[in-house]
Structure 1
Amino acid sequence: MKYRKLGKTGIEVSEISLGTWQVGGKWGSGFNDALAEQIINEAIDDGVNFIDTADVYEAGASEAAVGRVVRSRSEEVFVATKCGRQINPHVNEGYTPEVLRKYVEDSLKNTGMECLDLIQLHCPPTEVYYRPEIFELFDRLKDEGKIKNLGVSIEKIEEGLKAIEYPNVKTVQIIFNMFRQRPLELFFEQARKKDIGIIVRVPLASGLLTGKFSQDSTFDEEDHRNFNRDGAAFDKGETFSGVPFNVGLEAVNELKTIFPDRENLAPIALRWILDFPEVSCIIPGASKVEHLNSNINAAELPPLTKKEKVAVNDIYEKYIKKHVHQLW
């Protein structure tokens, strides 16, 4: 495993880290504590030292599993969690320092940790980024010894650019992959100038970039890939990166012609992301140990060639850009 600096946190994190949205089972299939702990332990065994969770993942079960495993290990493992998505309705007015403070304190109890390495605002409405009192709260929480670092998880580039104007924001979690390339235009440049750690989520476009889906693929009734393609439950950019499923399949089929010896495109898709030095780490999820191993192996691949990168970009321009680029 290779490690990179997480911006001005100063923390060195594994290039391939672990996201735990579906770590205890597939989306919509319930949470399996034993499976979650197996995957998290295996990740740490393989050199992963940064784990991302959230209070809303399986109603806190993900946070609790991460906390149990990390507290049982001797290695130094950094835990990032998120707050804000419990607010219902999820609107700007629901965000207050008092509400967010309670969520942070609940996450401390849930993980069993005395201090959170990184707390992230969990994709709040855009208006929240224009309210200094929300960000000031986290300075007080740091002074109280409850958190070490503040970050944000964003949907839109505008939100990321606004967030990093606050000096205490040290990381930005963002969707970035072969099918979501807009961060390259301005955000990466600004993040580099301000020494912001970039945490990449949805790196495989909800599995689309594995190359394993087809027109006949089906998803569980409670799987967001079934019910959220048009944003019925939350931002549609979280599901297949906002790419219409059939369009994504066409683009993936062309990607397969660039990498004909790859039955599983996931490691290539992750390697493409790692080829950008602005990225601190990637947090792919894993519902099986095999998925975890596939993801971790991506760090051992050589960088893509210039010809391969041009071909990937051509596919983005041909199939994907008109559907996603202007939206986020």
Structure 2
Amino acid sequence: MNYRKLGRTGIEVSEVGYGAWGIAGDAWLGAKDEESLKALNRAVDLGLNFIDTALAYGEGHSERLVGKVVAERDEDIYVATKVPPKNLRWPAPAGLHPDEVFPGDYVRGCTEESLKNLGVEALDVQQFHVWQDEWLGEGDWQEAVEDLKREGKIRSFGVSINDHQPANALKLIESGIVDTVQVIHNVFEQSPEDELFPACQEHGVGVIVRVPFDEGALTGNITPETEFDEGDFRNHYFRDDRKREVQERVRAIVSELGASEDEIAEIALRYILSHPAVSTVIPGMRSVRNVERNMRVGDGRGLPEDQVRLLKNHRWVRDFYA
């Protein structure tokens, strides 16, 4: 496993981290705690040392599973979690005052709850689960963050940027307040490369990449015949004719690269890790098989430059969440 600096935090994290939304059991259906714990432990066996979770994932269930693994392992494992928006609106709409979303006392209360769920004395990274750049300099959230840092309850502060809005954190990055950002970036969603990544490199901000497989599209497993359990959010994400559309785009990628559909997941991760601004990528991994497949990619090699150039042609501007 290769390790990279998480911006200016002083932490070195595994290139492949663990996205713990899928093990919460509430949006991605079908997760079994026993299998999730096996997957988490196998990832640590293979050198993973960074796990991203959130208080909102299964109302703390994901955090509690992560905390169980952290408590039982001797290795240094860095944990990032998130404060959910108080108004429970994802992504954050424009025009709200931050006191409606992240009032200081609420930020403190959520942090205390996450510390209890995880069974740790300090959070390596505490993040806001949504963000609007217009909140900079408004409300008392910054004072709460500074107090939590001073008290030793959080070591670093970050934000999870609104879906498909990478430029909506540029002012925050330039302010020096934020240590990390989490953003959607993949073969289809390349827009963070335009402004966000250069700003992060300039200001020493760590980059955590989420949704590397476009919610499964870039694994090659989504076909027109794919079915999800009732209540699984992917029924909405891949609604209408979208399954056919993503399958055609995946086939076009592997055809151009002279690869097979079985290789698309590795290609997708390596594309992300080929950018020097990226600190770690956090695929969701609910099975030991997927852990072993994904962890092999964290070898510091990325993709050959000619393949990266070819993949630039597959940028796809759209928002399936909307």
Tell whether the structures are fold-level matches, with TM greater than 0.5: yes
Superposition deviation, residue 128 in structure 1: 3.5
Say whether residues 1:254 and 2:263 are aligned partners: no
2:7 partner letter = G
Alignment match of 2:128 (pick from 121, 132, 137):
121
3-state SS in 1 of match to 2:279: strand
What residue ranges of structure 2 are gaps of 5+ in the alignment?
Answer: none
165, 168, 174: which is aligned to 1:165? 174
Cα distance in 2 for partners of 1:121, 1:265 equals 31
- State the match for 1:240 in structure 2: none
Residue 132 of structure 1 deviates from its aligned partner by 5.6
What aligned pairs does 1:36-115 form with structure 2 within 5 A after superposition? 36-85=36-85, 87-88=87-88, 92=96, 93-115=100-122
CA distance in 1, matches of 2:25, 2:59: 14
Q: What corresponds to 1:227 in structure 2?
A: 236
Q: Is the 8 A contact 1:177 1:203 kept in 2?
A: yes
CA drift of 1:50 comes to: 0.6
Matches of 1:273 and 1:112, distance apart in 2: 32
Contact residue 128 and residue 134 of structure 1 kept, 8 A: no
Q: Deviations over 1:195-214 (max 9, x none)?
A: 00000000110110011211
Q: Residue 298 of structure 1 aligns to a residue in which SS?
A: coil
Code of the aligned partner of 2:296: N
Amino acid in structure 2 at the alignment position of 1:297:
R
Distance between the aligned counterparts of 1:28 and 1:157, measured in 2?
Answer: 24
Give the whole-Å Cα distance in 1 for the aligned partners of 2:167 and 2:299: 34
What is the Cα deviation at residue 251 of structure 1?
1.2
Match of 2:284? 285
* Aligned residue identity for 2:8: K
Question: Residue 55 of structure 1 contacts residue 83 of structure 1 at CA under 8 Å; is this kept in 2?
Answer: yes
**Matching residue of 1:17:** 17
- Give runs of ≥4 in structure 1 deviating > 6 Å: none
Q: Which residue of structure 2 aligns with residue 175 of structure 1?
A: 184
User: Using the alignment, how far apart are the partners of 2:87 and 2:290 within structure 1?
Assistant: 32
Aligned residues: 310
CA contact (8 A) 1:51 1:77 kept: yes
Classify the secondary structure of the residue corresponding to 1:123: coil
CA displacement, residues 16-51 of structure 1 (integer Å, 9 cap, x when unaligned): 011100136694436532222211111111100010
Structure 1 residues 127, 210: closer, same or farther in 2, change over 3 A?
same
Q: Name the counterpart of 2:223.
A: 214
Looking at structure 2, the residues matched to 54 and 26 of structure 1 have their Cα atoms a distance apart, in angstroms, of 13
Residue 205, structure 1, aligned to residue 214, structure 2: yes
1:247-267 per-residue CA deviation (whole Å, 9 max, x = no partner) reads 322211101212424524111
> Retained in 1: the 8 A contact 2:167–2:192?
no
- Structure 1 window deviating more from structure 2 (91-100 vs 299-308): it is 299-308
Distance 1:66 1:292, change over 3 A: same
- 8 A contact 2:176–2:203 mirrored in 1: no
Q: By how many angstroms is 1:10 displaced?
A: 1.1
3-state SS of paired residue (2:8): helix
What residue identity is the alignment partner of 2:9? T
Identical residues among aligned pairs (%): 37
**Which amino acid in 2 is paired with 1:118?**
V
TM-score, normalisation: structure 2: 0.89
Q: 1:135 to 1:68 in 2, by over 3 A?
A: same
3-state DSSP class of the match of 1:51? strand
Q: Structure 1 unaligned runs (5+)? A: 231-242
Instruction: Give CA deviations for 1:113-139 in whole Å, capped at 9, x if unaligned.
Output: 111111000014554445263122111
Map of 1:311 onto structure 2: 310
CA 1:129 to 1:208, structure 2 compared with 1: closer, same or farther past 3 Å? farther
Report the secondary structure of 2:215's partner residue: coil
The question of whether the paired residues in 2 share the 8 Å contact of 1:54 and 1:62 is answered with yes
CA deviation after TM superposition for structure 1 residue 68, in Å: 1.2
- C-alpha distance in 1 between matches for 2:175 and 2:24: 35
Question: What RMSD over aligned residues (CA atoms) do the two structures have, in Å?
Answer: 2.4
- Per the alignment, residue 158 of structure 2 pairs with 151
